[in-house]
């Protein structure tokens, strides 16, 4: 079974803090993704990566950056957290089949 | 521009009856579709998929139907069970072009009443 883990299930940060969300997968998948989920808006793609050190902007990259130094690890960085970044953050991978496999999510609250 | 739409934000169904969740898309290049189920405070779990070369795919109680001419897909759950209560997302991708991106709908919250 594919396992995707995220560093924290719940996180509370203050406005202006730098926030790191980490995602690790154990299936040697090339492609990794970061989404955020908000009520009524579904899952929106922030960034994705199809190889180590490669990254592509998704639909809502503003205020975020990413890092992929190793194949199994994909980090999402909020350079200066703001209250409108309070959300559920979901990491996913995509391997040889066409399904995406999701981690358990991180509920981030920015106060 | 919402390329994948789930127009019903919520649906209530009696236990044992059929649940039908709908999804519409606008991009005719989409050729692979997924359905996910999501419980609160958990990540989405994959349910069932369908390729554009098919019009139906079944897996146990779950069946997905694809109508390419109408750009419409639906997920049928028969019989519905209380454990099916969750938010359901459809997702679409143009896998042939190698974009490796899915576009997700906004979700439908299904409540199965015991």
CATH of domain A4-9+16-95: 2.60.40.10
Task: Report how far residue B92's alpha carbon sits from residue B101's, in angstroms, rounded to the nearest whole number.
Answer: 8
pLDDT digits (tens, 9 = 90+) for B29-74: 999 999 999 998 889 999 999 999 999 999 999 999 999 999 999 9
| B104 close contact with A: CB closer than 8 A | yes
Residue B83 sits in a domain whose CATH number is 2.60.40.10
User: Could you tell me what percent of chain B has a pLDDT over 70?
Assistant: 99
Task: Report how far residue B13's alpha carbon sits from residue B86's, in angstroms, rounded to the nearest whole number.
Answer: 12
Report CB contact under 8 Å: A107, B46: no
Report CB contact under 8 Å: B100, A99: no
Residue B97 belongs to what domain range?
4-113
Total domain count for chain B? 1
pLDDT digits (tens, 9 = 90+) for B75-89: 999 999 999 999 999
Output the DSSP codes for B40-99. TTS--EEEEEEETT-SEEEETTEEEEEETTTTEEEEEESS--GGG-EEEEEEEE-GGGT-
Q: Which of residues 4-63 of A touch B (CB under 8 A)?
A: 4, 9, 31, 35, 37, 40-45, 48, 50, 58
Instruction: Quote the pLDDT of residue A40.
Output: 86
What residue segments make up the domains of chain A, in order of their start?
Answer: 4-9+16-95
**B65 class by beta-carbon count within 10 Å (0-12 exposed, 13-18 middle, 19+ buried):** middle
- The confidence band for B101, taking pLDDT boundaries of 50, 70 and 90, is confident
Report CB contact under 8 Å: B95, A4: no
pLDDT tens string, chain A, 111 residues long: the values are 668 999 999 999 999 999 999 999 998 899 999 999 998 899 999 999 999 989 999 999 999 999 999 999 999 999 999 999 999 999 999 877 788 999 999 999 999
Instruction: Quote the pLDDT of residue B26.
Output: 96
Q: Which of residues 53-92 of A touch B (CB under 8 A)?
A: 58, 90, 92
| B94 close contact with A: CB closer than 8 A | no
């Amino acid at each position: 079974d594919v396992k995707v883990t995220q560093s924290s299930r719940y996180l509370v940060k203050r406005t202006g803090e730098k926030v790191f969300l980490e995602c690790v997968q154990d299936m040697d998948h090339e492609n990794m993704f970061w989404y955020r989920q908000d009520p009524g808006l579904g899952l929106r793609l922030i960034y994705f990566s199809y190889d180590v050190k490669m990254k592509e902007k998704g639909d809502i990259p503003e205020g975020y950056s990413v890092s992929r130094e190793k194949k199994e690890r994909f980090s999402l960085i909020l350079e200066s957290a703001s209250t409108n970044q309070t959300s559920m953050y979901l990491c996913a991978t995509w391997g040889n089949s066409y399904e995406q496999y999701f981690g358990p999510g991180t509920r981030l609250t920015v106060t | 521009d919402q390329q994948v739409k789930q127009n019903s934000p919520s649906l209530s169904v009696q236990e044992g009856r059929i649940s039908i969740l709908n999804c519409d898309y606008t991009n005719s290049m989409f050729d692979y579709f997924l359905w996910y189920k999501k419980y609160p405070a958990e990540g989405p779990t994959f349910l069932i998929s369908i390729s554009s070369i098919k019009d139906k795919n079944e897996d146990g109680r779950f069946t997905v139907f694809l109508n390419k001419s109408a750009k419409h897909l639906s997920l049928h759950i028969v019989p519905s069970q209380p454990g099916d209560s969750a938010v359901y997302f459809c997702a679409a991708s143009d896998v042939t072009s190698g974009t490796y991106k899915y576009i997700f709908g906004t979700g439908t919250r299904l409540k199965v009443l015991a």
